[in-house]
Amino acid sequence: QVQLVESGGGLVQAGASLILSCETSGITFHYYHWGWFRQAPGKEREFVAAISWKNGENSETYYADSAKGRFTISRENGKKMAYLRMNSLKTEDTAVYYCAADKNFTAIRINPTYWGQGTQVTVSS
């Protein structure tokens, strides 16, 4: 059974940083691309960032315009963990953040196969 479990969300003030983690099981982690999505209240879920299956410097990353320069996606194949470091958080970053996995690097940015349950991030002004 594939399980993706996010953690690290919380309530922070604007300008703060958070690191979201995605712990995985039941999946061959290094065969997959990994991504993060978010869904704000009253809005559709949107892509945030993705990282290709390769580890370390060979990984390819892709970011939504809203995340570029502030968010960093990373992965640790040995630990089967994916991360999203978020700096300079803004109130508009408030959302439920979801970890996702797919073997296709296009699909990971559009409609991944596997999803976590999400972790709430709330940014106050």
Residue 26: other Cβ atoms inside 10 A: 10
Cβ–Cβ under 8 Å, residues 10 and 121: yes
Say whether 121 sits in a helix, a strand or coil. Answer: strand
Question: Quick one: residue 51, left, alpha or beta (phi over 0 = left, psi -120 to 50 = alpha)?
Answer: beta
Please give the Cα distance from 53 to 102 (Å, whole number).
9
Tens digit of each residue's pLDDT, the chain (125 residues)? 999 999 999 999 999 999 999 999 999 988 999 999 999 999 999 999 999 987 666 789 999 999 999 999 999 988 999 999 999 999 999 999 999 999 999 999 999 999 999 999 999 99
Amino acid at 75: R
